[in-house]
Every structure is written in structure tokens, then in C-alpha cells.
Chain A
Amino acid sequence: MLARHTLSSLLVTALVLAACKRGGAEDATSSSSGGVDAGGFDKSALLRAFGQCALDTYRDFETSAVELDASAARAVTEGTPAASDAARESWKKSIDAWQRAELFGFGPAALTTSPGGRDLRDPIYAWPLLNRCVIDQQLLDKVYDKPELATALVNSRGLGAAEYLLFYEGSDNACPATATMNSSGEWAALGAVEIATRKRAYARAIAADTLARSHELVAAWDPARGNFVAKLASAGPGSVFVSQQMAFNAVSNAFFYIDDFVKNMKLGKPAGFNPGCAAPPCVADVESPWAHRSKEHLKNNLVGFDRLLRGCQADGEGLGWDDLLTAVGDAALAKKLTAALGVSRGLLDALKEPTLEADLVTDAAGVKALYDSLRVIVVLLKTEFISVLDLELPKRVEGDND
């Protein structure tokens, strides 16, 4: 008798649970566009704000890519120093815009293994992946004149390669002397003028490719086309992001660009704080060794970080992580992050030399202070930020838990 009760109880439970799950899925689908959760803080609106901010940032970049494409073309057709200078200035505007976009590595810009990822970041800017020897080899082979450029390794195209091609005026190459191009004398036979001409042509091809990529990226986010803004905002069952939490995790992962990329690779490595630099400073390890824009890159990265933290509009208006933190009751953390970011930006501005390379040599203490201030931000992110919002650190392998 008792066992029969047990069985019937189990059956009822199973049916209830199954019904709940089905009903839940249907409810979620129908309400996924609603956005306002029970708490009244509109998490969907925040996700939409993140998406809109990404789109606006990419549009800025697209505008600059148009200018770069035009000026790189002029540099080829005119071949004058003035035209080359104009192309360089356009590259600076493009890379500035892109450095702000680096923080938005979620959705289509992310790797294809991420939700909605289409791997659109690396073809535009693959740093730290850059191989000067491969670029030189392709310059010799005139790959830039062939369709293969679009599928060439990302370490030989994008804005990183364009920097080398536009700013480095030497006629040497980075391949070993034993490489065929050197041992056969093919490279030497080109001559300085031809090398310069080919560099301009290569840069022009990259600018065109970068423009096409920027169109692709903007189209992916544009409400009139791919509308990834809506996909992000409508995170939930049946969507690209099966839950809002997964969407927030994706944005959070991109937010952590400030850790490995900014703190460690862009600053810590050339400053010699990280292992791998035998005799600090290792100025050759800066991000922008030819255009000497490493400091500007850092500044623009922090601008992108600020947009996610405080909001995308002027003076930090608009929805950002700080609004969510405040809404859930941790305004103190929002303030700490904002203050820490302010300190970092202030210390960066306080580096007086025209380039980071020079600062590394003349103001090691200032660079160290900047590095420490970035560590403060990262610690806040890895501890309180992750905890309070129950987020996960980037790239965690999924697994069982208890």
C-alpha cells in the first residue's frame, strides 16, 4: 500500500515537473521580449544598452575605416609623402576607434565558440598575433593583389599589419637570412623604392579588407540587418543566449580585456613586471612599435571600459554595469570601480613623455603606479564584481559542480 503511494507520488511529481518545465519554456519565449523582470530593474534594457553601445562604437570605427580606405587608396595613386602622411593619420583615427571597440568582444566579434560569435575581431585587429616575416613574405609574393588576402593568416593583415606597412620605412625584412626570400636574393632585388610601393599597395588592400569587415560587423549588430542588439537584449530560452546570465557573462568576459590584454600584455610585459623580459624595460614589446601609439591605445581601451562600466553616453550617462550594481545594492562597488578607473586614467595622463616607450625608460615609477592601479581594477573584478553578480570568469570550461 505504502509502495503504491510512493509510486503514485513519484508519478505525480514527474508530471508536475515536466509540466512546469514545458510551461516555463513557453512562458519564457512569450515574455522574452518584455525585459522588465520582477525586480523592476530592466536587465534587458541594460543588455540592450550594452548592445547599442557596441553598435555605436563599431559605427565610429566604420566611419574611420571609410576614411582609412580612401586615404590608403590615395597614397597608392599619388605616391607622395603627403598622401602617405594622410594615410597614417587615418590609420591613427581608425586604430583609436578600434581600441575603444576592443572592450566589446562579445557577440559577432567573439570567437565562433562563443554565443553568437563570428570571429570578426581578429581580421580587423589580431594583436598580439602579428608576424612581420609573414607580412614581408606576402609582400614579396604580392598576396595583397590576390583573393587569398581575405583568407590569409590574421597575423598578416588587419590594422596591426597596416601599422607596420604604413609606418615602418626601412627596407629590410624580419625573416631569417636562411629564408628563401633572403638566400635567393629575391627580397634584395626588390629595392627600397619597390618595397615602399608594395607596402603602400599592401596597406591599401588591408584598408579595403578592414572596411569590408567593419561593414560586416556593423551589419551584424544593426537593428535593420543582423540586429544582434535585439538578440542580446532578448536573452532567454530559445535565444542565442539561453539566459540573461549567459549574456551578462559574455559582456563580463569582454570586460576582462583589461586584465590579460591591458594590464599584462600591453603594460606589464614591456615594463618587465611579467616574466619574459630579460632586462627591463622591454620597449620592443609595446603594442604599437612603429606608430608609437601604445599610450593612446591604453587610453582608448580605458574609454571602452568606461563605456561598459558607466554607460555609453557623454560623461558616463546611460546604462552600464554600475547601474546594475547599484540596483542590486552594491553601489559601493560601483563607486570603487569608477574611482579605480579614474585613478588609472589619471596616472596614464600623468605620463608625460610622448610615447609609452619613452615613459618606460624615464618614468618607471609612473608606469609602475599605473600598473598597480590596473591591478586594483582587476582585483575588484575578479572578487566582488564576479561574486555580487554571480558571474563567471572568462573562458571557464563547463563542467559538473557542487
Chain B
Amino acid sequence: MTERASVTRPRLEALADRLAAVKPAGALVAFRVALGLLVSVSALRFLAYGWVDELFVKPTFFFTYWGFGWVKPLPAAGMHALFVGLAVLGVCFAAGFLYRAVALLLFVAFAYVQLLDVTNWLNHYYLVSLLLLLSATMPLGRAASVDAWLRPQTKLDAFPAWCTYLLRFQVGIVYVYAGLAKATSDWLLHAEPLNIWLSARTGMPVIGAIFDERWAAYAFSWAGFLFDTFIVAFLLWKRTRAYAYVVVLFFHAMTFLLFPIGLFPFIMCASALVFMSPTWPSTALTLVSSPRARARARSPLPTASSPRVHPALIAVAASFCLLQLLIPLRHHLYGGNVLWHEQGMRFSWKVMVREKNGSITYIVESQRAHRTWYVSPHKYLTDRQERELATQPDLVLQLAHRVRDDFHAQGHDDVTVRVEAIVSLNGRAGAPMIDPSVDLVPIEDGLTKASWILPEPQGPPIHLRPAWSAARLASRSGS
């Protein structure tokens, strides 16, 4: 016991020393600036495109996260002010002004916005929330910042290595799990949903010409899988890092051109900066700056260590990492196909892995009134909310309870609420996602396996054949 402890302690100390070692601040400063500006741009987009009203003011019903039902939207003016605040805070974050407070405030405000309505869920907003949370624990505002300018005594030229490691871990998790999420037969063996998505984009300039070809869907599917799964390894390896980042840029540029994914590519390109050499910004600056500045840039790298990280903080960080490792795996506890039942889908980095559409109709029956009503979700939801609802069983359940409450309020307190939920996954024929015989009224949402969700349909997804085959064969036979 004593011997084991004596071996473990030096290892822990070595780990603590390694975490406390410093790295030049440049890369993480660049990351801070990029992240802050992207948050600002994102907030401004919401204001400019009217999304604040569409997503937070216009809806009369909001889907809540399990355990977060108490989070409610502000009045319209408050929501607009919040987004103006986000834009301002983003700039402050980028500039490193009142950094700690701003980072924390930014995280709270950004997370609050995400928690308002589940139908607004986006993986990359979750990533931004996590990056803001992590950034708030780091001294990223003490270099190349307004804070450092105002209080030179606090200025740092280097940051503790744990900052880089933690951010790399977080971004690495996203890529690797996004890659593993693609290790399915639909994605790798049937090239779905890429086949569907690319077939609809044959009108795209230049490369659209190949999108009707089946091999293109396979090539894109496998490229996406290999990229996501292995890019982190190449980014971590010094010899391949630069080339890997070029691939990152190319990959995300392609996704930006092909799909309406907003700021996602930019956020990932900015996030991947944490893998770059800590000195890359200063190296880049030397290429465009004066000889004197170049000489200054060649000054020796900092070698000192920051104060050793307290073991308790290491434990907290380790717990966070463990959670990030485990949470995306939790869907395995439910069995079945997570893309179908969606239990454990969120917070799991399953990014763009399915084409799923559904049709939902609530069937409300009252024995006493001898009536059957067919209630369209459209009565309660915006079009965007309705589309999200149609494929996510827990949201279907939440709205079922709202429908129940409405009928109760009208005096029909004996109603049952069943649902006809027909869903198509990756182009398969529509199949019932929820047991239509189950009354959803007494069912409560929770973390246990939902017995009211039916198993996914068997069989392969749709195989869209190249649209040219018939025409080309006809032309051949004609010639």
C-alpha cells in the first residue's frame, strides 16, 4: 500500500508539474479573440435576421430540458436586450476586457438562451457553451488584452499548459465522437444520408455535377467519417499539424458551401486553433511585421512554470473530462438505434448524421363527450418547432401534456391523448415512432428507457440511384 502510494505520488506530481508548465500565450489568445467575435457575430445574426422574435418571442409554447423547466424566456424587449448584451460581451471577451466576469457572464447568458427551448438545440451552440465555461476558468484575459493594458502587473506572456490541454480535450471529444457517430451501416455501407443530401444539390456550381453519382455519396460519407475520427490525432502530431489544419479548413469550407449550417464551420475552425503550436500567431506576425518586431518576436520562449495546480482542481477537471467522455456514450444504455429513439441523442456530438422527418397528429378522445379530436401540433408550434418535434419522442410527450392540459381546461378532464407519429429515417418508408395505443397523459418524462417508443424499422435506408441511369441507357439504346 505504502509502496503503491509512493509510486503514485511522483506520478501525480509529475502530472501537476506538466499541467503547470507554461506555453506561450499566442495560440490561446487567438482562440479567445476568435471565439468572442464568433459569439458576437452569432448574436448579431439573430438580431439582424429576426431570429430573436422567431425563436423566443413568437412561440407560445417552449420545450424545456429535463430538470430545467424553470427556465423561461424574457419578454420581447428583454430578449432583444439580451442578444445585444451577448454581442457586446462577445467583443469584451475577445478584447480581454474584465475578462473573468465577462467570460462567466457570457457563459451564463449563452447557456440561458440555449436552455429556453429544446427545439433550438444545436451541437455547436453546446460546444460554444462548454468552451465559454472552460475559458472562464482560465487566465486567457491576461495577455494581449485590455485588462493587461490597464493592469500591466497582471500581464502574462504565457499560460499554464492545462489550459491548452483542457481545450484540446474538449474540441477533440467533439471531433472523435462526431466521427464515431458515423460508424453506422447507414452512413458507411449505404452512404445515407449523404446520398439524399447530395442528390438534392446537383444544381450546385462545378461540383454539383458529381452529386448524382453514387460513389460521390460514398466518398463524402467515408471522408466525413475518417476526417472526424482521426483529424484530432493528426492535429496533435506536430509533424502533421499544419497539414491537418489545412484539411480542417477545407472540410469545413465544403460543409459551409454544401449545407445551411450557419456558423458551425467557423466555430470548428476557430476551435481547432487550440491544437496549433502555441507560437503560431507570433510566427505569423513576423511574416508581416518590421525587422524590429521580428527581433522582438525571436525573444526566448518563456520557460517558467505557473503555480502548481491544486490536486482538488485536477480532480474537478478530471471529473469534467470523465463526464464529457461518458455522456455521449449513455445512449448505449437504452439499446436500439439512438437516431430513431433519440434517448441519449443530445450532448453526444451526433452531428449531421441523419435525415429524419415526421408527421405528428395527436388523437384526443373523451369517452364522456363521445368525441375524437385530431390535434395538429401546428396549433401550438411554429413551423420550425413542429419539424423538430416530429422526430423527437420526448418533445412529443411534452406537447401531449400541453394538449391534455388544454382539454382539461375546457372541461374534458377524462381525455386520453394518443399520438400518430410516423417518421422516416434516412429515406426509409415512414413507420410509427410511438406506440399509437399508448395514452401519453399519465407518462412522465425521465431518464429511464421509454417503453412507449417503438423499435426502429428494419431494413436498409433508401438507395437513391443515379438519376442518369434511365436517360443514359435510353440514349445508349437509341444510338
Which residues 40-77 of A sit at the B interface, judged by CB distance below 8 A? 40-41, 43
Q: What residues of A have a CB within 8 angstroms of the CB of B356 in the complex?
A: 387
Chain A residues within 8 Å of B384, by CB: 396-397, 399
Stretch at the interface among A5-13, A103-111, A302-310: A5-13
Interface size on B, residues (CB 8 A): 93
User: What 1/0 flags go to B447-479 for Cβ under 8 Å of A?
Assistant: 000000000000000111111111110010000
Specify the main secondary structure of chain A where it touches its partner: helix
Task: Give the residue of B250, B284, B383, B423 whose beta carbon is less than 8 angstroms from that of A393.
Answer: B383
Contact of B209 among A38, A394, A398 (CB under 8 A): A38
Asked if A397 and B209 make an inter-chain contact with CB atoms under 8 angstroms apart, the answer reads no
**A313-328 interface (Cβ within 8 A of B):** 327-328
Chain A, residues 247-263, CB within 8 Å of chain B (1/0): the string is: 01000000000001000
B253 in contact (CB, < 8 A): yes
The reply to whether A2 and B351 contact each other, CB–CB distance below 8 Å, is no
CA distance A329 to B357 in the complex (A): 19
Interface check B390, CB cutoff 8 A: yes
**Which chain B residue has the least Cβ–Cβ distance from A327?**
B467
The listed residue (B124, B245, B361, B429) touching A384 by CB distance below 8 A is B429
Give chain A nearest CB distance to B299 CB in angstroms.
Answer: 16
Q: Does B211 lie within 8 Å of A274, measured CB to CB?
A: no
Flag A237-250 by CB within 8 Å of B: 1 or 0 each: 10000011100100
Check A9/B259 contact, CB under 8 A, given A384-B424, A386-B357, A402-B123.
Answer: no
A330-B462, A399-B384, A402-B351 given; A40·B471 CB < 8 A = yes
Which bracket fits the contact residues of A? 35 or more
In the bound complex, CA of A177 to CA of B54 (Å): 39
B9 located at the interface, meaning its Cβ lies under 8 Å from any Cβ of chain A in the complex: no
Which residues of the partner chain A approach B358 to less than 8 Å between Cβ atoms?
A: 382-383
Give the contacting residue for A9; candidates B210, B243, B375, B390; CB below 8 A.
B243
Contacts of B357 in A (CB 8 A): 382-384, 386-387, 393
Contacts A24-B205, A27-B205, A400-B264; A384 near B430 (Cβ below 8 A): yes
Chain A residues near B117 (CB, 8 Å)?
none
Contacts from A to B (Cβ < 8 Å)? 2-7, 9-10, 13-14, 17, 20-21, 23-25, 27-28, 37-41, 43, 235-237, 243-245, 248, 260, 264, 268, 272-275, 280, 327-330, 332, 371, 375, 378-380, 382-384, 386-402
**A-B pairs with beta carbons under 8 Å apart, 8 shown:** A4-B287, A14-B249, A274-B376, A371-B374, A379-B422, A383-B359, A397-B383, A401-B264
What 13 additional pairs, Cβ within 8 angstroms, besides A7-B283, A328-B464, A398-B260?
A: A2-B238, A6-B241, A40-B470, A43-B203, A243-B201, A248-B200, A329-B467, A330-B427, A375-B374, A382-B358, A383-B422, A397-B54, A401-B264
